[in-house]
Structures are given as structure tokens and as C-alpha cells.
Structure 1
Amino acid sequence: MTTKRILLSIGIVAVLSGLGYWGYLQYLAPGTENGGDTAVPTTTTQTPTTITAEGQIVPLAQANLTFVGSGLVTIVVVQPGDFVEKDTTLLTLDTAEQEIALRQTEAALAQAIANVQMAEAGVLAAETAVSAAEVGVAIAEANHALLAADPTEAQLALNEALVGAAEANVGLAVGNQSVTLEGSTDAQIRAAEAALAAAQVAYITARDAYEPVTQDENALSEDREQAQLQLNAALANLQSAQAALDEALAGASGAAQTAAAGGVQAAQNEQAAAEAELALLQSGTQAERLAVAQAEIEAAQQLLAEVTLQVDLAETAVTQAETAVQEAQTQVDAAQLALEKRSLVAPFGGTVADVLVDVGETVTAGQPVAIVADLSGWQVETTDLIEADVVEIARDDAAQIQVDAFAEQPLTGRVVEISELAAEVRGDQTYAVTLALPESDLPLRWGMSVFVTIERNQ
């Protein structure tokens, strides 16, 4: 602190002490009954503790803004002195890479959702197969029970009904074969076409962005290699989407067609077996027929066990597909956030104090690019309050603040915050103290030097 400020502080203390003593004599000190001289009080009075410090004028809030990533500045929306609302976009970096990544993750999400639908259809098919296998076991057991006794008219009628059911199964298998041969559904084809369209857009964007770099002989080899990798990835994605669409348009695979034909053959075999059973029943019970019926029970039970396992596998496939959807959605969210982070927004409403970069400059992560401050009011931050003094003050303590530029017009402030963390200044441990200022007509400016006097009664 300067000699001038020390003398000024001493003078202020002396004046305040004199005024206090005069006021005491005039209004508080007891007198004699005859109105004589004032009696001298015998009790001691509290002595105020005076703390002084230097500081500067600062805004109510300030923020040095940075990007979380590096890139080329493409848009600067504001300039120093502009007032902005909270979340107003201030600057933007190039977004070509982030937009490509977002489109790719969205296409992956669409494919993952389609996979869930296919897996759920697989569960339904497996559950239907279980139901059919359970019916098959019941039929086989009933048939065995019937064969163990002499056939009755009711048994003959039942076997005739089984023959009719077998004929119906043949018709159902033939219908399923027809559906299989018809190929992919419209929904599957539309999904494949949508994925191809997204891949085409991504490839065109990548080609426009990276092909000039790969053909630029003056570009750095590292940049050309990275550009070629991006271009290759987009082309591979396009080719994969085209192959998926081609497969959907081509219809059922050879394996699927073979399976459908096998289903028809199995149904026809079942019909033949039912007809043979009816013929045997009509000819009388035989030991061979009982053995056949027992074998049919065992075969039906084996089939039930197999299709029950298929249900478990299909349900596991659904769970895995749903997990893939969640992961794909996470990737989409991350890509969307990365795209949003390419734009820098105001953290609060205030004034743009400075813009530190121009369009065309390349910035790095964490590099300050703009400063926003709330200049609707002012406060004071001390710069040299030492540890021996900070323990003598508390929040809401009143203070007299003298601005160097307006020495004859002191202000009254109030302590609103005391830093918990010390900073070393010229070998001393100092603590920043923030003081609120009242509204004033003084043309205060950011960074003006002030002298602070805080009085606290102990």
C-alpha cells in the first residue's frame, strides 16, 4: 500500500473515533442531577478492528470461453461490445467430420432397430414351433394309448381326424413355402433402401470433403492419408448398404428355400404316416404298431426339447439386438453432442468483452477464444489481503471503498464472499475477498484500482 493511502486510512480512523466520542458525550454519557459536568464512564468500550486492502473493480460475472476440441473457425457471430442472451451462439468450428459421423451412427441405429424386429419375429416363430411340438407330443401319446386298447369307433374317428389335420398341415407348409419364395417384405426392403440412401449421402459428403485433399500434392502426407481413410470408410459403408439391399431384393436364400421345401416334405410324410396309422388301426392292434407309436412319442418329445431351446436362443438374440440398439443410440447421442460442441454459446446473458480469434484461424482444445461478462453491475475483488487480516472479517461486514479514479467520492460496500483458497503474492499468503457495490452514477470500469477499509467490532 502507498504512504498516501496509509495516511488517509489513519485520518479516516481518527475522524471516525472523534465523531464517536463526541456523540457519546452529547447523547449517551450520564450527567449530574444539577445538570453539571458529564460523569466519566468506568466501563471499557469495544475498539473497532480496521482492515485495509487493495483491489480492483470486476463485473458481476465473467467467463473465458474455450472449445472442447480443435478445428477451423468458420463462423464468428459476435464482436466486442455486443450484448448476448444465454445460449446465444458466438462462434462455430468446421463440422464436416462430425456431420458424417452423425449420419453413420444414425444409419447404424436404424439397422439395429430392424435387427430387433427380426429377432422378435424369430421368437414368435420359435414359440409357435414349441406350441406345435407340444401338440405333437400330446397326439403321439394319445395315439399310443389308443393303440394299447382295441380300437373303437371313437378311436377310428379320431385317427380319421388326424389324417385330416395332417392334410391341413401339408396345405400350411405349402403356403409357408410360397411366402418364403416371395422374398423379403416391403418393410425390410424399405429399411435397406433407407440405409443405402444414408450411405450414399455420407459417401458424397466424404468425397466432397476429402477427395480434394487426397489429390492435393502440396498437402501434408498425414492429412492425405487421413483423408483417404475417411473416403475409404465412406465407400465401404456404401458398398455394404448396397449389398444389403441387393440381398433383400434377391429374395430368400437357397438355404431358406430348401428349409421351406423340407417343411412341405415333412408335412406330407406326416400325412402319409397318419393315413398308415388309420389303416393299421382299421386292421387291428399289433405289437409292431405299439412300438411305432412309442417311437413317435420319443421323436415328438425330442422335437419339443429342440424347439424349446430355439426359443431360448431367439430370446437371447432379442436381448442382444436390444443391447445393440442402446449402444447405437449412445453413439448417435455422442455424435450429436460432438456436433453441438462445435458451436460455442454464451453461458449467461451479458456483454461480449473480447473475441480472440477470426474466421479461418485454427484453434486448439482449451484455447481461449472469447470473453463474456455481466456488466449490469460491479463488485470489488481484493488482491493483497493477508492471512493475518482475513481472519478478522466476515460476510456482511461493511466497508468503505475508494476508487483511485474518483478519490473524493468514496463508496460503501459489503463483504459477500471470502475465498477458502490462498494465493501467494510477493511471498505472502493472500485471500481474495469479494465486496458488493451499491448502484452508483460513477462511470466505473473493469480493472479500476480501489482502496478498501473494513471495520469490524471485536
Structure 2
Amino acid sequence: MSSMLRNSIVSLMLISFVLAACGAGASPAATSQAPAVVTDNLSVIAEGRLLPRQYVKLSFRAGGEVAELLAAEGDRVEADQVIARLKDEEQLQAQIAQADTELLNAGQALDELTRTADVARASAELAVANAKQGVWDAERNLKSVTYPKIEDYQKKLSDALDALTIAQNGDTVNVIGPTGAAIQGVQDSVETLRENLGNVQTAEQSCQNCDPKRLNTAQDNLNGALNSLTTLELQQQNAALQQAQAIRDAEDAVEKAQDHLEAAMQGPNDRELGIAAAKLKVAQATLDDAKKQLDKVKDGPDVDKLAAARARLSTAEASLAAAREAASRLELHAPFAGTITTLGLKVGEQVSPGAPIVTLADFSGWVVETDNLTEIDVVKIKQGQGATTVLDALPDVKLRGNVTSIASQFEEKRGDITYTVKIELTDADPLMRWGMTAEVTFEK
């Protein structure tokens, strides 16, 4: 018990004796009222201890060798600042970078799968349309093989014969090649220009003052006509070759049309029916597969691919979280801004997980904690109630504050039931130190 608390108790006892003596000769009514007034005016007084606003003992979550100290005892640190670091942190940072890259790649793959969903759906729809067309074509082919229309084959043969007649008559040459009259006209021009060139040459031999350009002009004109004639002749030859090819193609078409007509007149054969039926089965299977593919992508990305992409992303997220968690276990962080009051670490030391090695305190405010309020006294205290604190080391300094918490759990001390009460001080003094004893007077 502090000296100040003992003095207060002695003072209260003296006051009680004086009041009792003064009331000895009074009336019964006066005797019953005086003690009640004194009791109401008495304040609850308790001993306490000065504490920082908050403090904590820190420990690593993993064991290992101390690689780096980033703060010293007495240093002020900010919230989440690294105080110390164990070995292997660089290796874990590399794992974090690798996991981060994989997470980025997995996210991009999922985004790409989502972005290409529309393209995949359109491609699948086109595949279904093409497959349907294939089925229709195969059905028509099977029907034509099973029930051939003789008149259709007869018309195809007639058309092929007409095409052969046109090819044999030289219509192709007339369309794509020069006519004989055009070639004859150019040949006549060549003869005329050749004769003109001879005349100019004869005149040049007997004329000393003639213009020499006349001979060059005559020669150029003849050369141009000869080039034109050569071009027309080549065109005519090419047209003749094309006509010959057209005749051969037309003859082949006639032959095929005749074969098809003869086959149709003979009726379907097992080989052609088997081939046509097989083509229809293939076309139908292709359509079924195309529909299945469309079902997978019509509502978005392929279900299996989407599940795989999401699983990859989840795995990458979990790997990154695990790597970060492992790295965080090798670092000791300040949970709040404060001052390092003890630092039991050296570089190269081995530490065990959970062993307290650093004490961090927040001296931005002060709290007085008293744990000796009995069950008789605690009922007179309420949260928010004002209190005055006097430190034993600073008896002339009165520090005001307010009750911030009253413990719900009791403790039994020396046969008394006691409760812990905390008072947050609104006043401060530069000489205040953690752990100082104090006397707290709770206001009425």
C-alpha cells in the first residue's frame, strides 16, 4: 500500500471519530443523518500502476537464424514496419515472384478464354450449319442413287452435246482470240510499211540534205506493226489451244453423261448405294459432333476448359498466398506505431517460434490499471466516470482521466474478490514512466 493511500485512510478514520464525537449529544434524528452524508461524500480510492496506451511482446512465427536487424532498442517504428528478418527470406521472395508471375499468366489465360468465347460460339454455329448442309447433300445423293431420274440424266447428256458442238464450231476462238480479218489487216499494214521503208531508204541514198529522222520513223512504224502482228498470232494460237482443250473437256463431259444415263437406266447398284449410305452416316456423325461442340460453348467458354482455367487461377492464388505467408513468418513486423523498449536479438542468433524477443509500447497516451477494487467498491464505479491520479513519484502532479473498462472476470486476492479497472489519462507529464505506482481517486 502506498504512503498516500495510507494517509488518506488515516484521514478518513480521524474524520469519522470527529463526527462521532460531535454527534454524541445530538438528538436521535441528527445522529442517524450525519453518518449518511459523510458516506455519500467519500470517494473510492485505489492503488494502480502506470501503463502505456498499448504494449505487446513480439515473437517470430517461425524459427531460424537472425539475418538482419532493422531497428534498435529505443527506436520509434511505424505500424507494419519490419523490425527483424530471418535467413532464407530472399529465397522466399523469389518464390513469391514466381508465384506472382504464374498468377498473372493464369489470370490472362482465363481472360483470353472468356474473350474468345464469342468466336468459339460463332465457329461452332458455322460448323453446325456446314454439317447440316453436308447431311442434306448426302441425303439428296442417296435419294438420287436409289431413285434416279432418267430425264435429268438425259438433259445433262443433251447439254453436254450442245457444249461439244459449240466448242467444235470454234466459238471459243472467236470469243477469246483475234479474228482472221484482224490478223489480215495487220499483215497488210506490215507490207505497206515495209514498202514505205524501202522508198525512204532509196531516197536517202540520192538525197544529201534529206531529214535523217524520216528513215528512223519509217523503221519504227514497221517494227510496231510487226510486234502487233506477232501478238495477234500468239493470241490466235492460244485461242486455238483453249478451243482444243474445250473440245476435249466437252467430249469427256459427254462421255460421263452417257455413262450416268446408262447407269441410271440400269437402276441402282449395291456399290453406289453403299457409298451413298456411308457418306450420309459420316455427314450425320459430323453434324452430331458439331452440335455437341456447340452445346459446350453456346453459353460461354468450354466448361472443361473454363474449369481448368479457374482451377489454375485458384492454385496460383493459393501458391502466392502460401509463399507470402511463409515469407511473413521470417519477418517481425510492428503491429502498431510505437517505441521498442526491449530488443533481445542479435544477428546470427537462433530464435524459436513464439519466444518473446521484442517489447513494443505506444507512449502516445497513458493508462492506469488498478486491480484491487473489491466487490464492495467496484459497484460504485461506472464506465466513463472521472478519476484523479497521483503518481507516488510525482505527488504534486494531479492527472485527470476517465474509466475506460471494468473487468467482468473477478480475481481472488488475500480472501477478497477484486476487479481490474482501467483509467485512460487525459493529462500527461514528461517525467511519467512505465510501471510507476499511483493512487487513483474515483470521483463521485
Deviation at 1:435, TM superposition (A): 0.8
* Aligned counterpart, 2:149: 150
* Aligned counterpart, 1:298: 281
Aligned equivalent of 2:426, options 429, 438, 449: 438
Aligned equivalent of 2:78, options 64, 77, 85: 85
* Aligned counterpart, 2:352: 364
Kindly indicate whether residue 60 of structure 2 is the aligned counterpart of residue 67 of structure 1.
Answer: yes
Kindly indicate whether residue 393 of structure 2 is the aligned counterpart of residue 405 of structure 1.
Answer: yes
Kindly indicate whether residue 385 of structure 2 is the aligned counterpart of residue 392 of structure 1.
Answer: no
Note the 1:376-387 alignment, pairs <5 A: 376-387=364-375
Deviation at 1:15, TM superposition (A): 7.4
Q: Percent identity?
A: 29
Deviation at 1:432, TM superposition (A): 1.9
Deviation at 1:76, TM superposition (A): 1.0
CA contact (8 A) 1:49 1:455 kept: no
Deviation at 1:426, TM superposition (A): 4.7
Kindly indicate whether residue 307 of structure 2 is the aligned counterpart of residue 319 of structure 1.
Answer: yes
- Structure 1 gap segments, 5+ residues each: 19-38, 158-275
* Number of equivalences: 318
TM-score (norm 1): 0.56
Note the 1:52-451 alignment, pairs <5 A: 52-94=45-87, 95-103=89-97, 105-106=99-100, 109=103, 124=120, 127=124, 130=128, 132-144=130-142, 148=147, 150=149, 284=264, 286-288=267-269, 289=272, 292-309=275-292, 312=296, 315-426=303-414, 428-441=416-429, 443-451=431-439
Distance 1:67 1:306, change over 3 A: same
CA contact (8 A) 1:402 1:411 kept: yes
Distance 1:304 1:48, change over 3 A: farther
- Structure 2 gap segments, 5+ residues each: 19-29, 157-255
Distance 1:317 1:438, change over 3 A: closer
CA contact (8 A) 1:9 1:453 kept: no
Q: Which amino acid aligns with 2:75?
A: D
Distance in 2 separating the partners of 1:440 and 1:108:
54
Distance 1:138 1:119, change over 3 A: farther
Deviation at 1:455, TM superposition (A): 4.0
Q: Which amino acid aligns with 2:135?
A: V
CA contact (8 A) 2:71 2:83 kept: yes
CA contact (8 A) 2:2 2:47 kept: no
Q: Which amino acid aligns with 1:331?
A: S
Distance in 2 separating the partners of 1:281 and 1:330:
73
Kindly indicate whether residue 1 of structure 2 is the aligned counterpart of residue 8 of structure 1.
Answer: no
RMSD of Structure 2 on Structure 1 (CA): 4.5
Deviation at 1:333, TM superposition (A): 2.7
CA contact (8 A) 1:68 1:366 kept: yes
Q: Which amino acid aligns with 2:285?
A: Q
Deviation at 1:279, TM superposition (A): 7.9
Deviation at 1:83, TM superposition (A): 1.7
Instruction: Return the index of the structure with the highest Cα Rg.
Output: 2
Distance in 1 separating the partners of 2:68 and 2:375:
47
* Aligned-partner SS, 2:317: helix
* Aligned-partner SS, 1:407: strand
Distance in 2 separating the partners of 1:277 and 1:328:
67
CA contact (8 A) 2:405 2:422 kept: yes
Deviation at 1:337, TM superposition (A): 3.5
CA contact (8 A) 1:48 1:455 kept: no
Distance 1:13 1:303, change over 3 A: farther
* Aligned-partner SS, 1:53: strand
Distance 1:398 1:112, change over 3 A: closer
Distance 1:118 1:373, change over 3 A: closer
* Aligned counterpart, 1:200: none
Distance in 2 separating the partners of 1:277 and 1:325:
63
TM-score (norm 2): 0.58
1:187-221 superposed Cα distances (whole Å, 9 cap, x missing partner):
xxxxxxxxxxxxxxxxxxxxxxxxxxxxxxxxxxx
